[in-house]
Each structure stands twice: as C-alpha cells, then as structure tokens.
Amino acid sequence: MDFTFTEEQQAALEAARAVFSGVTPDSVPSPALTPGAVADDFDRALWRKLADADLLSLLIGTEHGGAGLDPIALCLVLREAAKVLARVPLLESTAAAYTIRTYAADDLSAEVLPGIASGDLVVTVAAAGRTGHDPAELAVTARQDGTDWILDGSQTAVPWAPTADRILLPAHTRDGHAVLALVPRTHPGLALEDQISTSGERYAEVRLDSVRISASETITDPAAWETLRHVLTTGTCALALGLGERVLAMTSDYTGKREQFGHPVATFQAVAVQAADRFIDLRAMEATLWQAAWRITTGAAGALPPAGDVAVAKIWAADGVRRVVQTAQHLHGGFGADTDYPLHRYHAWAKQLELSLGPAAAHEETLGDLLAAHPLS
C-alpha cells in the first residue's frame, strides 16, 4: 500500500488548515443557552467558510459541484477540524453525501447533493441506535405501503439534529435488509427530544411514528449502510487523532515551560516516559486510521474484510484518545482541572468521541469474530 497523499488530497488539507487557522475552541457556555449546552446551533459562520473553500463538497461528484475525492481526503480535513474543536456537522454531512453519491438514484442525488455542496442543505446521520448500544439499523422498522415506506422507531443521540435540515437514518425491513431514509427534520410524524452530549453539543432523540417516505427518498442497496457506517467510523477516528495530537502539543508546551526544583518538568524521567507513551498511541492511531481509510476507499483485498481494519482503528482510537487526555490532565496539574482552560473542552470532546466509538473490548470481540470467520493462512 502507498500512504503518500495525492495532490488533490494535499490541496484539501492545505485548504482546511487555512480555514481552521483562526478558530478558537469554545470554553464557557452562556447561561442564555439551552441548559448544559455550549450553543443552540453549530458554528454557521465557520460552515459558510468551509462551503466557500469547497470543503463541504469534497466527496461529491463533479457533476454536482464537488471535487469527487474519497474518505481519505475527508479524514485529512477532519483531523485538522478536531485540533480546534470545530463545531460543525462536517463528518455527518460529508459521509451522507458520499453515501448518496455512491448508492442513491440519480433523482435524489440531483435533488440534495448541490445543496450539500453549497452549504445550504445540512444533513446529519442517525447511527447510534435506540440505546446507543444496539445496532442502529435495528432501531427503526421500515415496511412498504405501495411505493412508499413507513418508518417506526427511534434513534438516540443524533448529532446536530435540532438544527439540521434532513436526517439520514437506517431502518430494517421484515426480511432483515437495511435501508436508508433521508427524512426532513420537520416531516409529519417525526419528533425530536432534546439531548446534550458529553461535549456540550445539542443532540436529539429522533422518534418516528408512522413516518411516510417516498421511494425516491430511500436507498435500498444493502451495501449503503455498511459504507456509511465505515465512513462515519473512520472519520471519528480521524477526529480522535487530530484532537490527541493537539492535546499532546499543548502538554509538551506546558511541561517545557513549567519548572520544578529549577528545571522544566519535561526533563523529569517520569514525565518524559508518559509523554513518549502517548506519542506511541498517536502513531498507532494514525497508522491504523490510514489503513482503514485506504481499505474502504479502494476496496483492496486483504486477509480480512475492511471491517477488520475499521475495528482495529476503532480499538486504537477509543483507547488512545482517552489515554492522551488523561495523561495531559495529569501532567498539567491544577490547570488540567480548570474549566476556563482549553484542555477542559478537549477532554470533554475526547470522552464524547470515545463514547461514540464504543468500548475497545467490543471491537476486539468483533475482530475476533472476523478472524474466526476468515482464518489467516
């Protein structure tokens, strides 16, 4: 495999660095906001800058105003977004656009992709299931009524749902197949119950009561949900990597300046060893991320299906980002517990990413099942 990025991918990375260069992480919520939330809406001004820089259309085909790139390019941009805790639905919107571009009928693609590319249409994804632990595709049922589909069920912890225009969600049919439905937020029968994420963002439980969706607003290809899930997962791993890299840089800067007994604490062996361990975590997170992104982008053959590489990336991202922020708070001492200091926000985001990825033990079980089904020769 060749992990050298193409000129187009490098251009997307440089554009992302330019857009995010002036972004500062939010720290203290305003009392006027929804209780517990950092803000009532995502960063619309930043969203517009991303649209103007053509970063919302990375994975959309050129025929709909996009760049026609791949999930690797998206992961490069998300890595930069996480370094500044960018409060935008970039992962969800782009993953949805990529899935629609790949699997949807031409009419649906023509209807929604130009709006996503321009930033005028905001799409999020429901992927947590009914409880956050069960498979997301089992949380909603889909049955056909003539040419329409009727949806019933609920999806919890849907990011950006209170202000997104449409929600792409999986559902299961009687024969066990997964379909994707693109449902307007204000559609009859759809209700939202406010939720607040660990990172302080407004989420929502999405409840569907006999929601009628036309066939033109659904994707029935059974591979669509798996692709969407893989792109969301690798994108979340990219966010974890970018956040971890920024936190380790903050820790290096702090321990290099903070002195004890007349010496910077970074020169103490115990501090240096902990920082080195976290650097190793980040390198492992990076290597497994690009392996997973490369597999789902190219479909290249391997000893295991792409789900195996995705599981490995999830294991390292979930455990690695937690270890990085915990070590950072420990080495920052009292500053690590100061809610006015930016590290507090990074820790909250890291915990949210870890929770959204799920426990590493569950992914190890998935990996074990794949190894049992595909013995290595």
Backbone angles phi, psi at 93, to 5 degrees: -65, -45
* Distance between CA atoms of residues 98 and 96, nearest Å: 5
Structure tokens at 124: 């999020």
Q: Which residues contact 251 (CB under 8 A, 6 or more apart)?
A: 275, 278, 327, 328, 331, 332
- At residue 70, the pLDDT reads 95
pLDDT for residue 363? 80
Contacts 24+ apart (CB under 8 A), 295-304: 296/71, 296/227, 296/230, 296/231, 296/234, 297/70, 297/71, 297/72, 300/1, 303/374, 303/376, 303/377, 304/370, 304/371, 304/374
Tell how strand 140-145 and strand 148-159 pair up: antiparallel
2 by Cβ neighbours in 10 Å (0-12 / 13-18 / 19+) ranks as exposed
Beta-carbon count within 10 A of 109 CB:
19
What residue ranges do the domains of the chain occupy? 7-121, 136-220, 223-373
**Tokens read off for 374:** 């595909």
One-letter amino acid identity for 142? A
Distance CA 37, CA 196 (A): 6
Per-residue pLDDT 10s for the chain (377 aa) are 566 899 999 999 999 999 999 898 865 454 455 666 788 899 999 999 999 999 999 999 999 989 999 999 999 999 999 999 999 999 999 999 999 999 999 999 999 999 999 999 999 999 999 987 788 999 999 999 999 999 999 999 999 999 999 999 999 999 989 999 999 999 999 999 999 999 999 999 999 999 999 999 999 998 999 999 999 999 999 999 999 999 999 998 887 777 677 787 767 788 789 899 999 999 999 999 999 999 999 877 777 888 899 999 999 999 999 999 999 998 888 777 787 788 889 999 999 999 988 877 788 888 888 888 887 76
What is the model's pLDDT at position 3? 67
Domain 136-220 is classified in which CATH homologous superfamily?
Butyryl-CoA Dehydrogenase, subunit A, domain 2 (2.40.110.10)
pLDDT the model gives residue 131: 85
Could you tell me if 250 and 329 are in contact, meaning their C-beta atoms sit under 8 angstroms apart? no
**pLDDT, position 327:** 93
**First-last CA distance in the chain:** 20
Burial class (CB in 10 A: 0-12, 13-18, 19+), 26: middle
Distances (CA, A) of 121 to 191, 193, 201, 236, 255: 20, 22, 20, 22, 44
Q: What is the CATH number of domain 223-373?
A: 1.20.140.10
The closest of 95, 25, 94 to 242, measured between CA atoms, is 25
Q: How far is 319 from 361, CA to CA, in rounded Å?
A: 10
Q: What is the pLDDT of residue 28?
A: 47
Instruction: Please provide residue 134's backbone torsions phi and psi, each rounded to the nearest 5 degrees.
Output: -85, 160
CATH of 7-121, one of 1.10.540.10, 3.90.1150.180, 2.60.40.10, 3.40.50.1000: 1.10.540.10
Strand pairing of 218-219 and 259-260? unpaired
CA distance 84 to 342: 10
E strand spans, 228-306: 259-260, 263-264
